[in-house]
Amino acid sequence: MRVLVTGGMGFIGSETVIALLEAGFEPVIADNLSNSKEKVLDRIETLTGKRPPFYKVDCCDEGEFRKVFEKEHIDAVIHFAGLKAVGESVVKPLEYYKNNLDSTFTLLSLMREFGVKNIIFSSSATVYGVPTHMPLVETDPTGGATNPYGMTKVMIERILTDFQKANPEFNVILLRYFNPIGAHPSGLLGEDPNGIPNNLMPYISQVSVGKLKQLKIYGDDYPTPDGTGVRDYIHVLDLAEGHVASLRKFADKPGLEIYNLGTGKGTSVLELVHAFEEANGIKIPYIIGPRRAGDVAENYANCDKAKKELGWEARFSIVDACRDSYNFQKKNPNGI
């Protein structure tokens, strides 16, 4: 099965490409390299012995993107490509809505034209907005995203839902990721954000190698066991396997399905910091600062549906992820 992976040079995309190759699929990568580097392709080849076709293309550029569909016989698409920094989306809402929605409209139009009938969409736990209870299940209400990034995910889920309803021969799987962390155990691939990291784990990792001075914990007055924010941190390798399991689901012609991809366990900021310190035998200096606008107290998943219907569940621990993140950062102190 030839699988077009948009955004396949990114943190989650590249790990998924490796998992696809190891599972016998034939990935084709389309990425505009706006938040990744072409060297990632060399690392994929080093790790798998295979070099998948790569097209440096912006999914919003219909003329260029069309060439990929003309040249490659695509059976399914995994759509990662999109802008994804929560804080940046608040400052640049127009860019986020235009890029994330236009790329999806262009992709779906080309899929329909070329008869490609299977798509997995990289969605996010942010679609649940401010949750009313924990853990979150797929039937919980969505739509209350607290930032433009999250709203693009809400909108694209709706676009795909309506598209599938109008075209019942299409199969759509929405994967709602919780908090992806970790790196490839080899240390060759990992989270390598441009600029100062918005997310907790890459920030801790850069503190651990002295690239950043100390961590600022955004609030310790939440209604949680130790007062700091609680999230469901899932190893990126588990996330990649979730996509392989979802591709296999297309054989059942699922129509439209939604799955949470998490561990089912909540971990606080302080618990993650301490796990990182214990896993790697180092200290992470931190201070406590005020809460960050838009943050929720708790957010973690119920993943029973993915286990039952995909035969998938997270296998790696927080400690595994902390060890792999530190290993990656040490080997790539200035990124890939």
Active site residues: 149
Task: Please state the φ and ψ torsions of residue 120, each to the nearest 5 degrees.
Answer: -110, 130
**Cβ distance to ligand WQD smaller for residue 106 or 152:** 152
**Cβ distance to ligand WQD smaller for residue 126 or 329:** 126
Q: How far is the CB of 218 from ligand WQD (least distance, A)?
A: 4
**Cβ distance to ligand WQD smaller for residue 164 or 206:** 206
Q: How far is the CB of 91 from ligand WQD (least distance, A)?
A: 15
Alpha carbon distance 131, 137 (integer Å):
11
Structure tokens, 175: 């994967």
Are 217 and 228 in contact, with CB atoms under 8 Å apart?
yes
Q: How far is the CB of 144 from ligand WQD (least distance, A)?
A: 13
- Which residues contact ligand WQD (rule: CB under 6 A)? 84, 86, 124, 126, 177, 179, 198-200, 203, 215-218, 229, 231, 269, 292, 295
Alpha carbon distance 102, 115 (integer Å):
20
Q: How many other C-beta atoms are found inside a 10 Å radius of the C-beta of residue 25?
A: 22
Helices (H), 140-296: 148-166, 200-208, 236-249, 269-280
Q: How far is the CB of 112 from ligand WQD (least distance, A)?
A: 27
Task: Please state the φ and ψ torsions of residue 313, each to the nearest 5 degrees.
Answer: -155, 155
Are 83 and 102 in contact, with CB atoms under 8 Å apart?
no
**Cβ distance to ligand WQD smaller for residue 250 or 324:** 324
**Cβ distance to ligand WQD smaller for residue 163 or 233:** 233
Q: How far is the CB of 238 from ligand WQD (least distance, A)?
A: 14
Q: How far is the CB of 234 from ligand WQD (least distance, A)?
A: 10
Strand spans (E) along the chain: 2-6, 26-31, 54-56, 76-79, 118-124, 171-177, 179-181, 215-218, 230-231, 233-235, 256-261, 267-268, 286-289, 298-299
Q: How far is the CB of 179 from ligand WQD (least distance, A)?
A: 5
Q: Which residue is nearest to ligand WQD (CB)?
A: 229
For residue 298, give the nearest of 259, 316, 271, 333 by alpha carbon.
271
Strand 230-231 to strand 267-268: parallel, antiparallel, or no bridges (unpaired)? antiparallel
Alpha carbon distance 128, 109 (integer Å):
28
Are 314 and 234 in contact, with CB atoms under 8 Å apart?
yes
CA dihedral angle for residue 268, residue 272, residue 275, residue 276, rounded to 10 degrees: -170
**Cβ distance to ligand WQD smaller for residue 25 or 203:** 203
**Cβ distance to ligand WQD smaller for residue 216 or 248:** 216
Are 237 and 305 in contact, with CB atoms under 8 Å apart?
no
